[in-house]
């Protein structure tokens, strides 16, 4: 049983992340929220958009108006009112302790030994800081696993605030999130875990996105306490700028121009091309005459041509009955939907192509796997909120539904790996946030057998929280006696911006480690290429997909 205390605001004014957290807590028999620590002072809390600026009123109003408009059109995170009321009633049954710091200096609250003694009566494992500003005093050292708090940025490169603004303003491709155990340093507590996410187009969307995504980090590490495998690491020294709320007109006006370019102008361009029935992006499969991913050269590779109304992506290779087959996504521009296709491949050309799976939802990433004379097909089908497993009836064109996993969950890019000890593992990208982002978290499950497909979740799920390397990008393979997992590098520039190759160093039910080997990025040598997000080893060749822009 994990005992938790929480610095909290009034239950009717909780954030969406807090409501989602308490909803999860209600379902866990091993969690005991023992006490809510409520600020007893009459200090009016200020919303993130209503901070008092030290500059002219025009700058303040302009910044508020920009963000208010953004919220109206882009707030996807509202909690269902009935569910919210249910959670509030549940919270009211918990103990409350009214607290008053002995003094406040600026935005720092200082606590004395009396509060430390009062809190010690609850025998807490951790305290979560969902309220108050900066905390100082011996209270920081009085809890078994400390006081936990988020700094919604990577504290190695950005301390201060507001959360999510400066990454947009400075055009940083990635926005970090740091879960830390507080100490006396500003945003410099001991690191519990960090997450990295594609920077969103505007301040409000980036702020909301990283806050909603951070719940996964919190839940994961509370579970690790329960498994007695939590890890704390020391923060690096920080000698850079401490960021503050934008106050000058020049900064705010520049930000306005940035979001106009990121949102309105892009939408107008996309709409214009859509009316003209012009496709802005086009994926193409290439075959390179090398099995060394360091040596892939598009100029020496063979392009598989497609018709104007479709594109091909996510190629998987299998050899069966002395024939080579390619399974891939066949995307149709007319209905904006992908289906699963199969074709024989010979002399770098496709023959006898057929659509083998076509549903009323998008399908892609047809991972194919053979074991015990059975062949399984696991397509990506996140729109259906489930993961189907198909089993071959007549190879290669006839398949039947065999099992369904992860019902009512967003999952993508399932990849099965058989290790040297004949253990089977499912690598899959999943999302449990309002944004349904499938690029940032990698989950691993041990497959007990192929009859039932019973799964045991990895103890450190999600094992990776980083959009630069979390999402799968093809089958795990052996190269130079190393086990290589290809992954996508997704950032603010593009989904599947480039390809990573990581060596799997350690894999068991308690541990997962991988080491960076190489990043394959064609964007730097060809301005018309915006992404590559899949790799398959094909005998002595490599198969990849490339996304070109047509504007």
Q: How confident is the model at residue 86 (pLDDT cuts 50, 70, 90)?
A: very high
Residue 55 has pLDDT above 60, yes or no: no
Task: Give Cα separations from 161 to 48, 153, 155, 158, 427 (angstroms).
Answer: 10, 8, 11, 8, 35
pLDDT confidence of residue 115 = 78
Average pLDDT over residues 33-45: 78
* pLDDT for 451: 84
Mean pLDDT value of segment 178-201: 89
Q: Which long-range contacts (CB under 8 A, 24 or more apart) does 499-504 make?
A: 499/293, 499/473, 499/532, 499/533, 499/534, 499/535, 499/544, 500/468, 500/469, 500/473, 501/293, 501/535, 502/469, 504/476
What tens digit of pLDDT does each residue of 158-169 get?
998 899 999 999
Check whether 62 has a pLDDT greater than 90: no
Task: Check whether 263 has a pLDDT greater than 90.
Answer: no
Split at pLDDT 50, 70, 90, the class of 49 is very low
pLDDT tens for 69-78 read 888 777 666 7
Report pLDDT for 521.
94
Across residues 222-242, what is the average pLDDT? 91
- Supply the pLDDT for residue 83: 87
Helix then strand count (H, E) for the chain reads 8, 34
Confidence band of 46 (pLDDT split at 50, 70, 90): very low
pLDDT tens string 93-148: 999 988 877 666 666 777 777 778 888 889 999 999 998 777 777 777 778 999 99
Long-range contacts of 270-275 (CB under 8 A, 24+ apart): 273/551
pLDDT at 546 over 70: yes
Angle value at C-alpha 445, between 154 and 389, nearest 5 degrees = 120
Which pLDDT belongs to residue 268? 75
512 has pLDDT over 60: yes
Q: Does the pLDDT value for residue 47 go beyond 90? A: no
Global pTM value: 0.93
Asked if pLDDT for residue 314 goes beyond 80, the answer is: yes
- Select from 342, 360, 359 the least CA-distant residue to 350: 342
Residue range 519-533: mean pLDDT, rounded: 89
Q: Note the pLDDT of residue 72.
A: 76
pLDDT score, position 531: 92
Q: In what order do the strands lie in the sheet with 310-320?
A: 310-320, 323-332, 337-346, 349-357
Greater confidence (444 vs 229) lies with 444
> Residue 240's pLDDT band (boundaries 50, 70, 90)?
confident
Asked if the model's pLDDT at residue 277 lies above 80, the reply is: no
31 has a pLDDT exceeding 90? yes
- Residue 273: per-residue pLDDT: 66
pLDDT at 351: 95
Cα–Cα distance between 502 and 517 in angstroms, integer? 5
- Tell me the mean pLDDT in the region 469-491: 96
pLDDT surpasses 50 at 51? no
Q: Which of 39-53, 303-317, 417-431, 533-547 bottoms out in mean pLDDT, i.e. has the lowest?
A: 39-53
- Give dist(CA 482, CA 501) in Å, integer: 11
Q: What is the mean pLDDT of residues 440-469?
A: 96
Higher pLDDT pick, 551 / 124 = 124
Do residues 8 and 15 touch, judged by C-beta distance below 8 A? Answer: no
Residue 274's pLDDT band, with cuts at 50, 70 and 90, is low
* Averaged pLDDT for residues 406-425: 96
Percent of the chain surpassing pLDDT 70: 93
pLDDT average, residue stretch 363-377: 95
Average pLDDT value over all residues in the chain? 89
Q: With bands split at pLDDT 50, 70 and 90, how would you rate the model's confidence at 56?
A: low
Give the pLDDT score at 66: 83
Query: Residue 131's pLDDT is what?
Result: 81
Residue 275: band (very low, low, confident or very high) from pLDDT cuts 50, 70, 90: low
Name which residue leads in pLDDT, 273 or 30. 30
Q: Which residue has the higher pLDDT, 29 or 66?
A: 29
551 falls in which pLDDT band (50, 70, 90)?
low
| Residue 42: predicted pLDDT | 67
Residue 28's pLDDT is 95
Per-residue pLDDT for 54 more than 50? no
């Amino acid at each position: 049983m994990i005992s938790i205390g929480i610095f909290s605001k009034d239950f009717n004014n909780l954030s969406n992340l807090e409501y989602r957290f308490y909803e999860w807590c209600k379902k866990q028999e091993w969690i005991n929220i023992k006490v809510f620590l409520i600020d007893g002072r009459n200090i009016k809390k200020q919303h993130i958009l209503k901070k008092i600026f030290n500059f002219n009123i025009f700058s303040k109003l302009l910044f508020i108006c920009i963000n208010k408009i953004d919220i109206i059109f882009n707030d996807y995170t509202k909690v269902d009112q009935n569910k919210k009321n249910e959670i509030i009633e549940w919270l009211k049954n918990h103990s409350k302790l009214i607290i008053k710091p002995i003094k406040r200096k600026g935005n720092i609250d200082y606590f004395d030994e009396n509060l430390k003694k009062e809190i010690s009566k609850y025998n807490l494992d951790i305290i979560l800081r969902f309220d108050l500003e900066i905390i100082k005093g011996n209270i920081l050292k009085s809890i078994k696993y400390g006081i936990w708090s988020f700094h919604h940025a990577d504290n190695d490169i950005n301390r201060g605030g507001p959360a999510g603004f400066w990454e947009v303003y400075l055009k940083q491709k990635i926005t970090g999130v740091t879960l830390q155990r507080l100490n006396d340093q500003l945003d410099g507590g001991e690191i519990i875990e960090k997450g990295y996410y594609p920077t969103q187009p505007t301040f409000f969307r980036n702020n909301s996105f990283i806050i909603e995504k951070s719940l996964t980090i919190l839940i994961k590490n509370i579970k690790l306490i329960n498994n007695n495998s939590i890890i704390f690491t020391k923060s690096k020294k920080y000698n850079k700028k401490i960021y503050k709320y934008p106050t000058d007109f020049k900064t705010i006006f520049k930000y306005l121009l940035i979001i106009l370019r990121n949102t309105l102008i892009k939408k107008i361009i996309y709409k214009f091309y859509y009316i003209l029935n012009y496709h802005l992006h086009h994926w193409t499969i290439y075959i390179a005459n090398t099995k060394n991913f360091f040596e892939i050269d598009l100029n020496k590779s063979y392009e598989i041509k497609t018709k104007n109304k479709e594109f091909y992506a996510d190629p998987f290779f299998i050899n069966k009955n002395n024939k080579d087959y390619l399974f891939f996504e066949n995307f149709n521009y007319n209905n904006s939907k992908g289906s699963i296709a199969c074709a024989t491949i010979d002399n770098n050309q496709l023959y006898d192509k057929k659509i083998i799976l076509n549903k009323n939802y998008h399908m892609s990433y047809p991972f194919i796997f053979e074991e015990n004379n059975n062949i399984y097909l696991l397509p990506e089908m996140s729109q259906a909120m489930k993961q189907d497993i198909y089993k071959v009836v007549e190879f290669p064109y006839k398949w039947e539904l065999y099992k369904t996993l992860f019902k009512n969950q967003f999952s993508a890019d399932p990849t099965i790996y058989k290790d040297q000890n004949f253990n089977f593992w499912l690598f899959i990208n999943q999302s449990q946030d309002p944004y349904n982002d499938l690029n940032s978290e990698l989950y691993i499950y041990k497959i007990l057998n192929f009859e039932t497909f019973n799964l045991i979740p990895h103890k450190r799920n999600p094992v990776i929280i980083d959009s630069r390397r979390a999402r799968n990008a093809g089958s795990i393979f052996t190269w130079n006696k190393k086990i290589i997992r290809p992954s996508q590098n997704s950032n603010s520039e593009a989904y599947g911006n480039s390809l990573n190759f990581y060596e799997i160093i350690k894999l068991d039910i308690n541990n997962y480690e991988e080491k960076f080997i190489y990043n394959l990025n064609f964007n730097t040598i060809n301005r018309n290429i915006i992404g590559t997000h899949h790799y398959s080893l094909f005998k002595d060749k490599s198969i990849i997909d490339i996304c070109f822009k047509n504007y």
